[in-house]
Amino acid sequence: MLKIVRIPVLSDNYVWLVHEPVSGETMVVDPAVAPPVLEKAEELGWKISQIWNTHWHPDHTGGNAEIKQATGCTITGPAAEAGRIPTLDVQVKGGDVVRLGDVTADVLDVPAHTAGHIAFHFAEDQAAFVGDTLFAMGCGRLFEGTAEQMFGNMRALEALGDDTAIYCAHEYTLSNGRFALTVEPDNTALVQRMAEVVALRDRGEPTVPTTIALEKATNPFMRATSVAELAARRAAKDAA
């Protein structure tokens, strides 16, 4: 079983440290910055051997160079964004398989937030690292893609199965939930989840990871039944 540790950085980013105990390999997903990641790995006695990037945005890649310099790690990321991630060593795309020690992850193409955005799915561990594609009760903004692509991403992530844990890259849950309630005020699963989220955030606790089952029940973007509905909800959230 993978050991996964959350590192909160900047105002609302989560960097994920993923340790594979059989080989002892440790990988970092989307390091926005380096120092807190290097400190946490040191504290745990884990040696970072890889970085995996989901997309080129600086709050997902900003720590690449410094971590690579400190550890000699290998950096894997989206082939379609290689030009915007100069620190990349290995370029991957949907359908590829990436290895962390004893386990492998499937690469999924999930374009829309950025044109080449990818996600990493560890099927056996039922864990997916989705960057800025799917959030707790939300989805990424459509900076370089379309609502149609995001609608397709929701179907692809849904297909990973209800018990799949979703490791997203931001703590946006409270804001997303408030918006979700304007879309579906009578959704009892959503009302109940928001009460739990408010309590967690009041105590300064994280609300991530989430699960596919929870998102299917409460996420207005995953629950949108058409591209047009997703597009309208995304536009309304952007304007909120």
Q: Which of 214, 27, 22 is closest to 105 using CA atoms? A: 27
Residue 94 carries which DSSP code? T
Which residue's CB is nearer to Zn ion, number 137 or number 181?
137
In angstroms, what is the minimal distance from the CB of 118 to Zn ion?
12
Q: Contacting Zn ion (CB under 5 A), which of 25, 81, 109, 132? A: 132
Active-site residue numbers?
55, 57, 59-60, 113, 132, 170
- Taking the least distance from each CB to Zn ion, the nearer of 12 and 102 is 12
- The residue from 19, 57, 233, 237 that contacts Zn ion (CB under 5 A) is 57
Using CB under 5 A, which of the segments 131-139, 151-159, 170-178, 184-192 binds Zn ion? 131-139
Other beta carbons within 10 angstroms of residue 126's beta carbon come to: 15
Q: Given the complex with Zn ion, which of 13 and 49 has the nearer CB atom?
A: 13
Nearer to Zn ion, 8 or 104 (CB): 8
DSSP 3-state of 23 = coil
Place of tokens 């989220």: 197
20 sits near Zn ion (criterion: CB under 5 A): no
Distance CA 199, CA 182 (A): 20
| Rg over CA atoms, the chain | 17
Task: Of 78, 74, 18, give the one whose Cα is nearest residue 49.
Answer: 74
Span from 30-38, 53-61, 170-178, 205-213 in contact with Zn ion (CB under 5 A): 53-61
Separation between Cα atoms, residue 28 and residue 94, nearest integer Å: 20
Q: Summarize as ranges the residues that interact with Zn ion (CB under 5 A).
A: 57, 132
